[in-house]
A and B are shown apart, each in its own frame.
Chain A
Amino acid sequence: MSDTYNIEGIKTNDVLAIRKLYSDLYPSIRSFLLSKGCQEQDCDDLIQDTFVDGISNIQSGKFKETSSLKTYLNSIAKFKFYNIAKKNKPTIALLDVSEEIKQEQESQLNEKDLTVISKALSQISDKCKVILEGFYYYEKNLKELAAELEISYDFIRIKKRRCMNSVKEIILKSKHHG
């Protein structure tokens, strides 16, 4: 479904593209949430989180453009709002190994860890950043990344491993020094 928004710009954090999206859709998402019973004071935080998740999904290719962006963001907002509403209800779910690990790990990344990792990421080469962010954040596959960087598929596998090792090395070194 076509939208009038600059999706390519949004993917690269273009401020004007994001500004248009935000100013166009903020009022309707807000009205929508208020109609669902969201309290005024909670709404703005919820809307900002909605945009962060929505744009992050656009950037990682999870948004498939089968619906309009307005519908898509509304559904994220609704999901978030209902999640908050049932926050206190315990849920039991059967998880496979990867989900189990994901959950365990998500609860383990605190602000301190994030600072250490961000610092390490700022010390690796630009190429490594493109590869690691491309693969793990933008969720591009290795073939795509190899084509973008004009290197072979075999080499990008090796390069990705080296980049990951560089980050690990910096983190481990900082732990020894700290």
Chain B
Amino acid sequence: MDKKVIEDWLDKYFNDELSESELIEFKELINTNQEFKDSFKLEQKIILGIRESKKKELKEIISHEHNLYINNNTTKIRTMNKKKFPILAIAATLLVLIAAVFVFNQGDQNDPYNNKNYLASVETFQKKNMAKFSSRGGSDELTTLSDSLNLGLDLSLKGKYKESKQLFLKASELHPENEFIQLQLAFQDFYLSNYANVFPRLDKIVNSKDVDVREESEMLYAQAAFKLEDQMTTAKTWLNKIASQINHRYVKEAKGMLSLLG
């Protein structure tokens, strides 16, 4: 059977353009023509694949939201149980918020840790990677990927975060499993103040076996959480996790922040 004829039939079927009599003929073709049946089945699988991949994306988002909700809710319940000291609880929350605002907005260079220091550390990390990718050789595919990553990092370091994000999004389509690309997307969302978008990206890589990716993800999680006023508990959870790892690159900073926050 001619390929064009098969495609015309399939288009009409999937575009919902078949008349009743054509639908009977269509069914007949499926039952009698193997080539037709195979093409039909493959396209059906692809359509289901399109729907399923979108749903998978959605499942990741919902699962993340569920965890966030449960974490926050647990804290709320715990706070509400401290009925004996409601004023103290409010005062403590206010102190934490004031300290956080101070830490992130004042940028005092004498502080054990401030947001500027974090951004400077990230910049160093980005520059180191840029150098790594510019000197990397290998297969065509690897060279193309290195070029893309190098360009993405360059754009980011120049403050062109939107352009950098677009480039990393493209790279992510071709290399969805690449953890470094996910980390970069999270960084660009952070720079663009899309803090809520940072979490689903980091959820995919925060348990990475790659130390660079994992440690940067953990700190970025804390940083992004601090930017959202309802995520203070999440931020503290991550800082505690970092502070408990003596060899973590941000251990000093995490301890400093925690001591300021009380």
- Residues of A participating in the B interface, judged by any CB pair closer than 8 Å: 13, 15-16, 18-19, 22-23, 26, 44, 47-48, 51-52, 55-56, 59, 97, 101-102, 105-106, 108-109, 113-114, 117-123, 132-133, 136-137, 142, 157, 160-161, 164-165, 167-168, 171
A16 to B59, CA, bound (A): 15
Beta-carbon nearest neighbor of B68 in chain A: A19
A-B residue pairs in contact (CB < 8 Å), sample of 13 = A23-B72, A26-B66, A48-B66, A56-B54, A56-B55, A97-B26, A97-B30, A105-B41, A114-B56, A119-B176, A121-B50, A157-B15, A171-B42
Count of CB-CB pairs between chains A and B under 8 Å: 111
Contact with A along B158-197 (1 / 0, CB 8 A): 0000000000000001101000000000000000000011
Does A18 contact B46, Cβ atoms closer than 8 Å? no
Question: A26-B69, A117-B49 in contact; A123/B57 too (CB < 8 A)?
Answer: no
- Name the B residues within 8 Å of A168 (CB-CB): 42-43, 46
* 6 interchain residue pairs of minimum CB distance: A117-B49, A15-B196, A22-B65, A122-B173, A105-B44, A118-B53
- Name the B residues within 8 Å of A16 (CB-CB): 196
Does B61 contact A15, Cβ atoms closer than 8 Å? yes
Interface of B is mostly: helix
Question: A15-B197, A15-B200 in contact; A114/B62 too (CB < 8 A)?
Answer: no
Question: A109-B45, A161-B7, A171-B42 in contact; A18/B54 too (CB < 8 A)?
Answer: no
Beta-carbon nearest neighbor of A44 in chain B: B66
- Name the B residues within 8 Å of A106 (CB-CB): 48
From the candidates B47, B72, B200, name the one contacting A136 in the complex (CB within 8 A).
Answer: B47
Interface residues of B in 197-251 (CB under 8 A from A): 197, 199-200
From the candidates B52, B56, B69, name the one contacting A22 in the complex (CB within 8 A).
Answer: B69
- Name the B residues within 8 Å of A47 (CB-CB): 66
Does A101 contact B44, Cβ atoms closer than 8 Å? yes
A113 to B56, CA, bound (A): 14
Beta-carbon nearest neighbor of A23 in chain B: B69
- Name the A residues within 8 Å of B61 (CB-CB): 13, 15, 18
Does B57 contact A13, Cβ atoms closer than 8 Å? yes
Task: Tell yes or no: B78 within 8 A of A by CB.
Answer: no
- Name the B residues within 8 Å of A114 (CB-CB): 49, 52-53, 56
- Residues of B participating in the A interface, judged by any CB pair closer than 8 Å: 7, 11, 15, 23, 26-27, 30, 40-59, 61-63, 65-66, 68-69, 72, 173-174, 176, 196-197, 199-200
Does A55 contact B44, Cβ atoms closer than 8 Å? no
B33 to chain A: closest CB distance in Å?
A: 15
- Name the A residues within 8 Å of B55 (CB-CB): 52, 56
A51 to B26, CA, bound (A): 36
Known: A56-B55, A108-B45, A114-B52. 18 other contacts (CB 8 A): A15-B200, A16-B196, A19-B68, A23-B72, A51-B62, A52-B55, A52-B59, A56-B54, A59-B54, A101-B40, A101-B44, A105-B44, A109-B48, A117-B46, A118-B53, A118-B176, A157-B11, A164-B46
A141 to B177, CA, bound (A): 32
B203 to chain A: closest CB distance in Å?
A: 12
A114 to B47, CA, bound (A): 11
Q: A15, A16, A55, A133 — which one has the most chain B CB atoms within 10 A of its CB?
A: A15
- Name the A residues within 8 Å of B58 (CB-CB): 13, 52, 55-56
- Name the A residues within 8 Å of B56 (CB-CB): 114, 118
A160 to B56, CA, bound (A): 23
A133 to chain B: closest CB distance in Å?
A: 6
A168 to B42, CA, bound (A): 8
A15 to B68, CA, bound (A): 12
Beta-carbon nearest neighbor of B3 in chain A: A165
A51 to B196, CA, bound (A): 19
A46 to chain B: closest CB distance in Å?
A: 12
Question: A15-B61, A52-B62 in contact; A142/B15 too (CB < 8 A)?
Answer: yes
Does A161 contact B11, Cβ atoms closer than 8 Å? yes
A52 to B68, CA, bound (A): 16
